[in-house]
Every structure is written in structure tokens, then in C-alpha cells.
Amino acid sequence: LPGNPPVQTKKALKQRFLKLLPCCRPKSIPSLSESKTVLASAVLSSPGFLADSVEDEFELSTVCHRPEGLEQLQEQTKFTRKELQVLYRGFKNECPSGIVNEENFKQIYSQFFPQGDSSTYATFLFNAFDTDHDGSVSFEDFVSGLSTILRGTIDDRLNWAFNLYDLNKDGCITKEEMLDIMKSIYDMMGKYTYPAMREEAPREHVENFFQKMDRNKDGVVTIEEFLESCQKDENIMRSMQLFDSVI
């Protein structure tokens, strides 16, 4: 999208999304006796979520937050049963508690941008995934956002991007919001990237963004202006297509 770093290849995008799978580890794991009690209750009350074996059921018993049923997530997303199983196991391996909070999310994200400070951008991204604004991202939140980004229509993906840029969620993007986004991206990329990034570059990107998007020149970009401008931009449309079949 306008103002973002150059579009990456499908392979790079796939690697980046798969890197987002690790989540938080709980401070403590339930004891074996506690796990057996939870397991017995789970077996009696439901057939399990993604379990294909007794071992899977036991692993699921340590989860503090149990995700919704597989069939329900299949209906809510564009992932197959097998894809949901793979995504959940990757999520669960590094996130036994089943949820990730903002601080954990920022710590995870920082591992992939050691050359810069990714904390601010990670906060913006976390808020985009945390659609119910409860301060945590569950597996349902994660796959819902991922489904939109990877399998949604062009409008779905653009709406998701608009929501990311609309920091206060008031239905429009201001220059201040876009400048905050751009500064966070440049901070994340680091000061020692090559070629070196000029200090005024974020503001220049914002001005270019508003020249292209702010059709009525009222100082804000609405969702209607955003969608119309993006759909007329061949470069943006090509970047949207790169997300097809990433996983």
C-alpha cells in the first residue's frame, strides 16, 4: 500500500506470516494431576477442537483459553480443516495458554526486526488483530485476521489495511495517524539500513499518500476514498495479489 516498504516476494511473505505464529508461554504449566482433571472434563463435555488422537486431547487440556470448534472456524474463515490444524498446532506449540497479550506480541515481533525498534508498529498490528479490543489475541482472532489478509477479497484486504491505519477507529485516516504509522515502519526498519533513510522521508510518504487518497482535500481519508483510490492503482492491486496462496 502507499507509503509501505517495497512489496516482498510470495516466499518472503510466507516466511513472515509463519514467523508470526509463535506466541506467549504461560508463567507456569498445570501439574499432571490438574491436567488429567481438565482432560476428563473436556472428554465428557466435548469431542475436542482439532484433536486427532488421545495425545492431542491431552495437549489441549493444558490450554487456558480453548478455541471455538473446528467446524465453526471453518465457517468463519477461508481455511480448510487441515490448514486450521497446522495453524493451531504452530500457535499452540509456542503459546500453550492460547492467547497472547500486547507485550508478548511486541517481544515476539522484535525478534524479526533486530536492526530497529518494532515496538510501536507491533502495537498497531496487535490492535488490528485484537478486533474485540479485550487486550489479547486468541487463536480465533489470529486466524480470522490471517484469513482476511491471505484469502479475503480485494475489498476485504483493503478494509483490513484501512483499519490498521485508522488508529483511533473513528472511520477516517488523518495525516497524524499516517505519520505515526510511517514513523513506526521506519523505526522498525532501523537507522542503518541501506540505502540510508532520510529523516524527512516518513512525512514525504504521508504527503504522497494524501495527494493520492484525499480526493476532496478535506485533510482526512475515508474508507470510500481509500477503496476507490487503491482499486485504481495498479501497483497496489499487484501487491494485494501477492497474498494469494501464501499458505
Percent of the chain past pLDDT 70, that is, above it, reads 66
Q: Give me 29's grid cell.
A: 504449566
How many Å from the N-terminal Cα to the C-terminal Cα in the chain?
A: 21
Q: What is the pLDDT of residue 238?
A: 81
What pLDDT is stored for residue 50 in this prediction? Answer: 42
Burial (CB count <10 Å: 0-12, 13-18, 19+), residue 55 = exposed
CB under 8 Å to 176, separation ≥6 — which residues?
none
What amino acid is encoded at 245 in this protein? S
- Cell numbers 483459553: residue: 65
Domains and CATH numbers, the chain: 68-151 (1.10.238.10), 153-246 (1.10.238.10)
Q: What global pTM score does this model have?
A: 0.68
Q: How confident is the model at residue 3 (pLDDT cuts 50, 70, 90)?
A: very low
Q: What is the average pLDDT across 177-204? A: 81
Q: What is the DSSP letter of 171?
A: S
| C-beta of residue 206 within 8 angstroms of C-beta of residue 178 | yes
Res 115: pLDDT: 86
173: helix, strand or coil: strand
Q: Which residue has the higher pLDDT, 214 or 132?
A: 214
Q: pLDDT of 94-133, one tens digit each?
A: 677 888 899 988 988 888 888 899 999 999 999 999 988 8
